[in-house]
Amino acid sequence: MTRPLVISNARIVDPASGRDEPGALLIADGRITDFSAGAPPGLPEGAEHLDARGLVAAPGLIDMRVFTGEPGHEYRESLASAGEAAAAGGVTSFVLMPDTSPVIDDGALVDFLLRRAEATCAVNVLPAAAITRGLRGEEITEFGLLKEAGAICLTDGRESIQSAGLLRAAFSYARNFDLPVVHHTADRTLVGDGVMNEGTLATISGLKGIPIEAETVPLARDLQLAALTGVRYHAAQVSTGAAVALLAAARHNAQAVTCGISINNLALNENDVAPWRTFFKLAPPLRSEDDRRAVIEGLNAGVIDVIHSAHDPQDSEVKRRPFAEASDGAIGLETLLAAALRLVHSGDVALMTVLRAMTIRPAEILGLASGRLAPGAPADIVLFDPEFPWVVRERELRSRSRNTAFEGGRMQGAVMHTLVAGRRVFSHAEASGDNRP
């Protein structure tokens, strides 16, 4: 039992209800118990008071694609360090990919992760279980046992299942347990040795390109199999206008289909690769500006449901290499909200749209009670200043790895406080407003 908390003088932005107005929130026993427009009617006896002073109060972000090193590679990222990074970025829950050592393909490992996260992580960890044993794409795991152990969804993480027959069986099996399948679409034969977007820039640089068809061919297959089986299908991350068009057509046919996109593919394009810094080597790769504009339109149209960080910590041994030889991936938990606010400040996307894609939509897809500011909902809340200027510096990041695609980036908008179940797990050094009677 904790003391009640009143957050006053906040700009309440709740995409679930469409609310955007000044107000106050009352929190008790880890949940939101009341909302009032304007000033609170009064403070409960013994309550803690947080004066937001005009900060935006929104549901805590839910990140649907996070990799860590634990278990097996804790030197890259532990659950504890990922939790610190998440809290600093306003992320109160994240889906943990099963790409660990050992792979999360057994119920006992799901249970271990949940217990480990509860003991060491500042935010909510939602384990995803592997679709296939060892992520090898050959044999389906025990979906029922994985769900019983606490798996939130099924995915092969970085891997893309190449066999249509096996994927159809997995979709049918997952539907029986009402588990969403989150699948990364990449045709290995089309990706080949490609390391960046196929196009003029790749040609003049002498680097092998990855065509958009490497994404759209398996996506078209997945959408047909999803229609056939009725599975809850989530395309893990799209990066091209052609993929958006395929998904829009699938939505027109009323399929239970959703999709996500990395903030990297929304905020950056292939021209950012030009310095050949390997922190820009990602999967899917950064695409053309035309594709970036197309996916922004897809977000505004509601075709793209979720924005995630694709947080993927990699150590210097695998990133400090020639571009073609470096591993894919960049960290992103701490920069997710700030990078998304770039789209707001540029006028490309409304604040409500951006927040919807990082709060209520992932909550709906995963069947979570969070993602909203309503009485009875978990008090997972982020308070941020959308105008606060700061610069991304590797040495100041909380992640154990430093492979950020936004190093040196000038940001406008920063998290001031993050609350999980009503408990403050992060406060910015320049945050104010505390009054602890």
| CATH number of the structural domain spanning residue 418 | 2.30.40.10
Of 88, 87, 68, which Cα lies nearest the Cα of 78? 68
Distance CA 378, CA 421 (A): 6
pLDDT at 241: 98
Q: How many CA atoms lie within 13 A of 239 on its CB side?
A: 29
Q: Is residue 91 part of a domain?
A: yes
Average pLDDT over residues 287-298: 98
User: What's the average model confidence in pLDDT over 72-93?
Assistant: 97
Clarify whether residues 20 and 122 are in a common domain: no
344-378 pLDDT, tens digit each: 999 999 999 999 999 999 999 999 999 999 999 99
Burial class (CB in 10 A: 0-12, 13-18, 19+), 200: exposed
22 shares a domain with 102: no
Three-class SS of residue 16? coil
Q: What is the CATH number of the domain that holds 348?
A: 3.20.20.140
Same domain, 18 and 128: no
> Domain check: are 14 and 143 in the same one?
no
Please say whether the beta carbons of 314 and 401 come within 8 A: yes
Question: Which residue, 335, 366, 397, sits at the end of a domain?
Answer: 366
Compare 44 and 270 and report the one with higher pLDDT: 270
- At 63, give phi and psi (nearest 5°): -100, 120
User: Encoding tokens for residue 287?
Assistant: 């695409």
Cα 150 to chain center, whole Å? 19
pLDDT the model gives residue 436: 41
Based on the fold, state whether residues 144 and 160 are members of the same structural domain. yes
pLDDT bracket for residue 38 (50, 70, 90): confident
Question: Do the domain assignments include residue 225?
Answer: yes
The reply to whether 164 falls in a domain is yes
Q: Establish if 146 belongs to a structural domain.
A: yes
The pLDDT score that the predictor gives to residue 95 is 98
Mean pLDDT over residues 35-45, rounded?
83
Instruction: Looking at the structure, tell me whether residues 281 and 411 fall in a common domain.
Output: no
At residue 374, the pLDDT reads 96
Query: Is 396 within a domain?
Result: no
Entry pTM: 0.97
pLDDT tens per residue across span 173-230: 999 999 999 999 999 999 999 999 999 999 999 999 999 999 999 999 999 999 999 9
Helices assigned H by DSSP within 234-288 = 241-252, 263-267
Whether residue 399 lies inside any domain: the answer is: no
Burial (Cβ within 10 Å: 0-12, 13-18, ≥19) of residue 88: buried
Q: How many CB atoms lie within 10 A of CB 317?
A: 8
Residues 421 and 291 in one domain: no
Mean pLDDT of the chain: 95
107 and 239 in one domain? yes
CB 337 within 8 A of CB 346: no
**How many domains are there within the chain?**
2
- Quickly state the pLDDT bin for 270 (edges 50, 70, 90): very high
pLDDT at 434: 55
Residue linked to tokens 């500042």: 122
**Residue 371: inside a domain, yes or no?**
no
- pLDDT confidence bin for 139, thresholds 50/70/90: very high
Helix axes 107-120, 79-88, angle to 10 degrees: 60
Residues shown for the chain: 437
Same-domain check for residues 48 and 70:
no
Q: Quick one: 242 and 110 in the same domain?
A: yes
What is the pLDDT, as a whole number, of residue 433? 54
Q: Which of 352, 360, 356, 435 is nearest to 386 (CA)?
A: 352
- The Cα 406–Cα 93 span in angstroms is 22
Model confidence pLDDT, tens digit, residues 376-396 = 999 999 999 999 999 999 999
pLDDT band at 2; cut points 50, 70, 90: confident
Q: Do both 127 and 205 map to the same domain?
A: yes
Average of per-residue pLDDT across 94-99: 98
| Percentage above 90 pLDDT, the chain | 92
Same domain, yes or no: 116 and 11:
no
Closest among 36, 42, 55 to 4, alpha carbons compared: 42
Number of H helices, E strands in the chain: 14, 19
Taking CA atoms, 271 is separated from 42, 44, 225, 323, 394, in Å, by: 54, 54, 35, 14, 22
Task: For residues 347 and 77, give the distance between their C-alpha atoms in angstroms, rounded to a whole number.
Answer: 35
Do residues 210 and 195 lie in contact, with contact meaning Cβ atoms separated by under 8 Å?
yes
Q: Please provide residue 353's backbone torsions phi and psi, each rounded to the nearest 5 degrees.
A: -65, -45
CA–CA distances in Å: residue 105 to residues 131, 133, 152, 331: 8, 6, 13, 24
Is 234 inside any structural domain?
yes
The type of residue at 430 is E
Domain that holds residue 46: 5-57+379-388+407-435
